Structure formats: C-alpha cells, structure tokens
C-alpha cells in the first residue's frame, strides 16, 4: 500500500508548451510500478519574473524538477533555487543538445518553443491532417495518389486512429475498409506514389473489439459482424489481398497505435532508401 511518504512531487518547467517534457516524463514513469507521483506542470516559463511566481510552489512541494529552459536568467534562477532548497533539478535536453552541437559543429540557437513555430513544416502538418480527415474510410479515393500512405484492413483494425496519428507526424494518409462483398476501387491497385500497408489482427481479438463497439452503440450483439467464422473469413480475405499485391502487413493485435505508426514510418524510410529518395522522417510537433 502506498503511503504519503512514498509520494513524490514532480515539477515540469518548460519555456514552451511542455509537450516534449510531458512525453519524456511519462515515458520514464512508465518504467516504475505503482508510482505515486503528484505532477506540477509549468509551461511557457520565459522570464525570471514568471519563475519567481513559481518558486513558492517548489518550496511548498519539494520534489524532483525536470526542466527545458533556454533563457539564461530564468535557468540560473531555477538552478539557484533548487540548489538552495536541496531539490534535484534535471535539464533533460542538455545532453542531447550538446551531442548535436558536437556532431553538427555549431551552437544551438536557444530559442524557446522553436519546434512549434508556424513554419513550412507546421503548415505541412496541418495540410496532412486535413487530407487524412477528408480521406477516412475510403472517402475521396480519386485523390489517393496524393497520399503518402494508404492503410487497408477490415473493420476495427485501427485504421482511422493510426491514420490520424501519422497525420500529426506530417504524413498524408488515406484508409480503406476491406469488405468481402464490396471490392475496393480499382484505383487501390494502380497507385505508384503512396505506400500501401495492410493492417491485420487476430480474429478473436477483432470479435471482442467489435462486440464492445456494438455495446457502446446499444445495437444488437447477434450479427454477422461479430460471428467468429465470418470474422475469420474477413481476415483471411484481407490477408490474401495483401499477399497478392505484395503489400507489407502489420499485425496490430498486440500493438499500440504508436507502435503501429512507428512500424509504418520505418517501412516508409526503408522504401525511400531503396528507391534512392530522400526521407525527411518524422517532423517534430
């Protein structure tokens, strides 16, 4: 049983939105079981004056301080406060930035929130999200050649959430549900630019997901949609199509959306390298 003594306060201070800081903290905390952590989130800290308003909270709730501050004055003030009050403070991007400076032979600019600037990459991500939303569930197949990735799979095989996740990483994605009685548009087999990826999953798991979906919609549970043999046939139909067309296949049964997306991005990279093209990779958000 966790006691008050086992609880720690985790202060996250960022000079930008704090998204990077939160993700890193979450990834690190995932390595610990039943950690009782009280998070204190302080975004957009860009001046000593702002930091001074936070200092009383640091003193009142002593704990671990993780920060990404590039303003020298604010950073010096934070380090001074932490040292004086015995608070461990970790500048989580310093080692990475130092390594990049050495590898690139240049100094980092030290601009807060630079990854969130409304530059070309930002607008490309917005365009990717708009494209992906407009080409969900087989819609707009006439424009599929403009996509970077096409996801194909039976109903409830994580096509839409994976598409949205990839769109947030800058990829234009379309997806198409594979239905035995309704063949996909011929366009799907004629594409040259997009990478077509098949998503599959274990029939038993698919039945469970579909049954839960019907329950949330208050619909009848005894339908062909969740019939075991029927679902097995659907999955087999999709797998044959993947094999016949030489499309890479990802089994999402035990994968999170993030893991599936990472595998797809890797496929994009490998395809680009084989074709001799340049792969820009994932754009920071």
Give the tens place of pLDDT for each residue, 236-273: 999 999 999 999 999 999 999 999 999 999 999 889 87
The fraction of the chain above a pLDDT of 90, given in percent, is 61
Residue 156 is assigned to a ligand binding site: yes
* 107 lies in the same domain as 151: no
Same domain as 264, residue 137: yes
- Among 84, 115, 146, where does a domain finish? 115
Which residues lie below 8 Å from residue 75, measured CB to CB, with a gap of 6+? Answer: 67, 69, 91
| Residue 272 marked ligand-binding | no
Question: Residues 50-73: what's their mean pLDDT?
Answer: 92
> Is 157 marked within a binding site?
yes
Q: Which domain holds residue 27?
A: 4-115
Same structural domain, 130 and 268? yes
CB-based contact 158:260 (threshold 8 Å): yes
Is the pLDDT assigned to residue 1 strictly greater than 70?
no
Checking if the pLDDT of 135 tops 70, the result is yes
Is 280 within a domain?
no
Average pLDDT over residues 117-124: 70
Q: Are residues 46 and 162 in the same domain?
A: no
180 and 257, same domain (yes or no): yes
Residue 107: per-residue pLDDT: 78
Would 282 be classed as within a structural domain? Answer: no
Residue 118 has pLDDT above 70, yes or no: no
Examine the domain organization and report whether 158 and 227 are in the same domain.
yes
Higher confidence at residue 77 or residue 5? 77
> Are both 73 and 162 inside the same structural domain?
no
Domain boundary among 115, 146, 181: 115
Provide the 3-class DSSP secondary structure of residue 233: helix
This prediction's pTM? 0.66
- Band the pLDDT of 166: cuts 50, 70, 90: very high
Residue 10 in any domain: the answer is yes
- Whole-number Å distance between alpha carbons of 2 and 111: 41
**Does residue 209 surpass a pLDDT of 50?**
yes
- 199 lies in a domain? yes
Identify the CA nearest to 215 among candidates 226, 228, 230, 200: 226
- The alpha carbon of residue 86 and the mean position of all alpha carbons in its chain are separated, in whole angstroms, by 35
Say if 284 falls within a structural domain. no
In terms of pLDDT, which residue wins out, 13 or 16?
13
Ranges 45-49, 95-99, 164-168, 228-232: which has the least confidence: 95-99
Please give the Cα distance from 25 to 90 (Å, whole number). Answer: 11
Whether 285 maps to a domain, the answer reads no
Together in a domain, 32 and 102: yes
The DSSP 8-state label assigned to residue 284 in this structure reads P
Same domain flag for 268 and 178: yes
pLDDT, position 109: 67
How many CB atoms lie under 10 A from the CB of residue 43? 16
Q: For the residues 15-21, what does the mean pLDDT come to?
A: 85
**Residue that finishes a domain, picked among 87, 115, 143:** 115
Considering the domain architecture, whether residues 93 and 137 belong to the same structural domain is answered as no
Considering only CA atoms, give the Rg of the chain.
24
159 is in an annotated binding site: yes
Whole-angstrom distance, CA of residue 21 vs CA of residue 40: 12
Please check whether residue 35 is in contact with residue 29, taking contact to mean a CB–CB distance below 8 angstroms: yes
Q: Is residue 281 one of the residues assigned to a domain? A: no
Structural domain count, the chain = 2
| Residue 158 annotated as part of some ligand binding site | yes
In this prediction, residue 122 carries a pLDDT of: 73
Query: What CATH number has the domain bearing residue 93?
Result: 3.40.50
- The reply to whether 160 sits in an annotated binding site is yes
Strands 149-153 and 173-177, by their bridges, are parallel
Do 38 and 133 fall into the same domain?
no
Is 283 within the bounds of a domain? no
Do residues 26 and 42 both lie within one domain? yes
User: pLDDT > 70: what percent of the chain?
Assistant: 89
In the block, tokens 């999955």 appear at: 235
């Amino acid at each position: 049983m966790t006691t008050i003594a086992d609880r720690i306060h985790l202060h996250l201070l960022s000079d930008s939105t704090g998204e990077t800081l939160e993700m890193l903290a979450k990834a690190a905390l995932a390595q610990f079981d039943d950690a009782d952590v009280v998070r204190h989130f302080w975004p957009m800290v860009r001046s000593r004056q702002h930091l001074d308003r936070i200092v009383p909270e640091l003193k009142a709730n002593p704990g671990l301080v993780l920060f990404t501050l590039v303003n020298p004055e604010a950073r010096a003030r934070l380090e001074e406060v932490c040292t004086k009050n015995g608070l461990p403070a970790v500048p989580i991007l310093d080692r990475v930035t130092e390594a990049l400076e050495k590898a690139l032979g240049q100094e980092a600019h030290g601009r807060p929130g630079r990854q969130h600037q409304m530059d070309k990459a930002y607008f490309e991500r917005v365009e990717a999200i708009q494209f992906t939303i407009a080409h969900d569930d087989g819609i707009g197949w006439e424009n599929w050649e403009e996509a970077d990735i096409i996801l194909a799979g039976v109903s409830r095989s994580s096509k839409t959430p994976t598409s949205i996740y990839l769109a947030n990483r800058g990829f234009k994605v379309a997806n198409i549900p594979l239905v035995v009685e309704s063949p996909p548009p011929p366009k799907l087999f004629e594409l040259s630019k997009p990478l077509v990826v098949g998503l599959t999953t274990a029939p038993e798991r698919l039945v469970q997901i579909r049954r839960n979906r019907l329950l949330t919609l208050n619909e009848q549970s005894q339908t062909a949609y969740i019939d075991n043999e029927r679902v097995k046939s659907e999955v087999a139909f999709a797998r044959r199509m993947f094999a016949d067309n030489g499309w890479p296949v990802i089994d999402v049964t035990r994968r999170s959306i993030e893991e599936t997306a990472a595998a797809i991005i890797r496929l994009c990279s490998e395809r680009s390298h084989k074709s001799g093209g340049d792969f820009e990779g994932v754009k920071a958000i």
